[in-house]
Every structure is written in C-alpha cells, then in structure tokens.
Chain A
Amino acid sequence: MLFSDYNVNIIFEDGVLTAFIKGEVDHHNAVAARRRIDRELEEKRPHELVLDLGGVNFMDSSGLGLILGRYSKASELGIAFAVCNPTPATMKILSLAGGERIIKIISDEVK
C-alpha cells in the first residue's frame, strides 16, 4: 500500500477550523486529505469549517467529491461550511456541478 505525503495544514481559531489544501487534488490525494480533515472535525467540533483552496494547482472531479463530501459531513454535524480562495480552474470544476449555488464561497479580501 502506497501512502500519500499529501499536505493539509490545519488551523483552529475562534471555533473556526480552516484546512489549507495545497498542490494537486486528485483521487489519490483527496483520500488522504479527507481522512485528515474528518479526524480534525470530529476532534475539534468547530462551529465552522473552511476549506482554503488558494494553494491548489490542480483539481478534478475527485476534488469536487472532497469539497461536496466535507460540505455534507459538516451539515450532518450542524457545522457551517465555506470554501475560500478558489482559483479560476477550481471554480470551473465547481460550477460544472452547480457547487457555487449550494456552497458559500469567500475570498481573503472580504474575510
């Protein structure tokens, strides 16, 4: 079994859990990111989960699955959810699935 060295940095501050996702979000890396974020979510029980996608330089439908999956997981736990700083390429994938209509999208300028 090969394990990914995929990097997700997590900050927990004022009840907000922010996961900074970096690099290429494909199926291989999404599996590792999902495990990491879900563990923190269960442990910290924040009132809001923010996925910061500013450092993402590749994303396909597996990344979309990661985002929509964290959205459902947060909703189940009664946790607010937002996506932050998506690149134009990430937005292209998100909007194909109508994701921008159900998910709150913020950028650092307005945060």
Chain B
Amino acid sequence: MSKTELINELKLAFPSYSVNEGGARAMVSAFCASLNPTVDELSDIRCAVSEAVTNSIVHGYRNTIGTIFIMVRLYSDRTVKIEIKDKGCGISDIEQALQPLFTTDPAGERSGMGFTVMENFTDSVVVRSAPGKGTKVTLKKKLSKLTQNR
C-alpha cells in the first residue's frame, strides 16, 4: 500500500461580499477538476462550498465585511479536503446549529438546511467555532476511482 500524499494545494482569501459566492465555488471546483471527478461529485463540492461561504457572509460577518479564507488540499488517495474559515461572530451551540431546519435568521428566508446539504454532499463535515472568534468548517470528500468508462 502506498502512502497518502498531499499532491496540490489552493489558498484563497477574499472579502465577504455576496457577489464573491459564485467566484469562490467556481475556483474551488475548477481546482478540484484536476483529479477528474464525476460531474455529480463536482456539483456536490460546488454546492457544499457555496453553503459554507454563504454562512460566513450572512451569519459570521452579519452586518459587517470581513475576510473569508479557503484552503483546498488534494491527496493522492483522491481525497479532497476543503477548509472555509471566517473571523466572524462564531457559533455558541454547534450541535444545535447542525440540526436540520435550525436557523437563527428566519427573517432572511433561511431554512436552516445549509449544514444538512454539506453533510449530504460530502463524506464528513467538521465545525470548529468559538463566539467572538470565528468559525472553521472542514469538508472532506473522497472521489470515486477512475475507470475507463467514465
């Protein structure tokens, strides 16, 4: 068995303007494309990244503009690891935040499904957060093996 190695890395930092949501998910998915994911895998990654970035914009940096940091790492075993980080307001009860349909912003027409989407579209979602400090979401997805008929 060969050792799992880091084969590529991307780092992004950008201000939390909502217009950057589209660019952020497009850049991450373009970077992951070098691993030759399926169309569905790429579309799942795009959606999960969009959820985390949107959360930093609408919750983390609510009423302010701050910097969003993204790091993507591609590994030789076809695992993609994506960190999305903000230095915003943080989450006081992470377990509650992860519940489907839980939202602190119903007036903003949020339905509390962002983390549920991330969980359904990736293999693992880890949230680290502290009130007043910020939030880091780590997504991992292992891409399917390359086969001839793909």
Contact B54 A97 (CB under 8 A): no
Across-interface contacts of B47 in A (CB, < 8 A):
58-60, 93
Contact A68 B19 (CB under 8 A): no
Contact A60 B117 (CB under 8 A): yes
- Cα distance A31–B127 when bound, in Å? 27
Q: Does B37 have its Cβ within 8 Å of any Cβ on chain A?
A: no
Across-interface contacts of A26 in B (CB, < 8 A):
21-22, 25, 50, 54
Q: Does B101 have its Cβ within 8 Å of any Cβ on chain A?
A: yes
Choice from B17, B18, B51, B111 contacting A68 with Cβ under 8 Å: B111
Instruction: Classify chain A's interface size.
Output: 20 to 34
A7 to chain B, nearest CB (A): 14
Q: Does A69 have its Cβ within 8 Å of any Cβ on chain B?
A: yes
Q: Does B110 have its Cβ within 8 Å of any Cβ on chain A?
A: yes
A76 to chain B, nearest CB (A): 13
- Cα distance A34–B117 when bound, in Å? 22
Contact A58 B46 (CB under 8 A): yes
A103 to chain B, nearest CB (A): 13
Contact B46 A27 (CB under 8 A): no
Q: Mark B21-42, 1 if CB is under 8 A from A, else 0.
A: 1100100000000000000000
B44 to chain A, nearest CB (A): 9
B33 to chain A, nearest CB (A): 16
Q: Is the interface of B mostly helix, strand, loop or mixed?
A: helix
Q: Does A54 have its Cβ within 8 Å of any Cβ on chain B?
A: no
Q: Does A24 have its Cβ within 8 Å of any Cβ on chain B?
A: yes
Given A2-B19, A64-B111, A65-B110, also A96-B43 (CB < 8 A): no
Contact A27 B111 (CB under 8 A): no
- Cα distance A4–B117 when bound, in Å? 25
Q: Mark A15-36, 1 if CB is under 8 A from B, else 0.
A: 0000000001011101100100
11 A-B contact pairs sorted by A residue (CB < 8 Å): A26-B54, A28-B21, A58-B43, A58-B50, A61-B51, A61-B110, A65-B110, A93-B47, A93-B117, A96-B113, A97-B111
